Amino acid sequence: MRVLVTGSAGFIGFHLARRLLADGHQVAGVDALTPYYDVRLKEARHAILRRHGGFTAHIEKLENGDAFRRIVSEASPHVIVHLAAQAGVRYSLENPAAYIDSNIVGTFNVLEAAKAAKVGHLMIASTSSVYGANTKMPFSEADATDTPLTLYAATKKSTELMAHSYSHLWSLPVTMFRFFTVYGPWGRPDMALFKFVKAILEGQSIELYNGGAMQRDFTYIDDLIEGTVRLMACVPQRGAPVAGDSLSPVAPYRVVNIGGGSPVPLTEFVEQIERTLGRRAERKNLPMQPGDVPNTVADARLIEALTGFRPSTPVSVGIEAFVKWYTEYYAERADPPAESVISQT
């Protein structure tokens, strides 16, 4: 099968492309290598993928619609997995225009290219952040998502609506999948785990927002990739719902959470990092940052009904795998990981 992955040098895109290549698929990767965080990390991920004969890399911004449509036309993919996006909660307060350009304009160009190529299945990454101010737990795909708390969340919700309209108008099969705090080896430097491990190893304090009184439905990267790969075969079809489905009544369009439904308190997450590193963290308690939420919990019943799978890797296993990668990766380099924008979501 031919699969085009946007954001192939990113954390999730890299892992997905590597899994697809290992499964024998051909992968065309598209990534702009933007400097939101250390570009060297992105280049290292792409270098691993380039070792595989089935991988083709395209360094291009999705905002360049003509170039992207040419790439899609040449790759002729059966499936497009659109992962490229400007992520992060705090950064959306500092550079909101980046979210409009990448998430709105970029996704529009993906939709146009998928329509023109008559792609068999378009899969687009969304986020648990779209649940915004919702307080009912767990977050279900059927819940209203009309109260986003950041521009990042608003742009991702907008992409869901854009994709639904294209699915309805052009009978384009679309699966939107909402991620829940993904972590693991090769992770982004702006995420909590990377930040905490780096700070503890360097003898610096870690920042705990809301005094650490938060919990997250942490999803290990291998679980996320397994769920995504399984969903590839679950092509939405009009009038063919499963129990509790989010399938649209007017389009081959579905929204699916990818999370295990087992939230972990942030303080427990930090304690597990300390046990893994064998070091205590110096904590700096801070108020809740604007746009953040205290809790996220995924309703995992739909992904389990569709695929027979739900994420279940415990944080003890995931954190150990990350620490092993981190220490080995940076031990081979004279320079420490570069500073970057930090977000806990």
**How many Å apart are CA 311 and CA 177, to the nearest integer?**
14
Identify any residues that bridge with 58 across adjacent strands, giving them in sequence order: 30
The phi and psi torsions of 89 (rounded to 5 degrees) equal -85, -50
**How many Å apart are CA 167 and CA 281, to the nearest integer?**
48
Here the tokens at position 198 are: 């780096």
User: Quick one: DSSP state of residue 75?
Assistant: H
**How many Å apart are CA 298 and CA 1, to the nearest integer?**
30
Q: Which residues are catalytic?
A: 152
**How many Å apart are CA 310 and CA 139, to the nearest integer?**
15
Token pair 């969340």 is found at: 153
**How many Å apart are CA 210 and CA 203, to the nearest integer?**
22
CA distances (Å), 272 to each of 134, 266, 284, 311, 343, in order? 28, 10, 17, 19, 19
SS3 label, residue 206:
strand
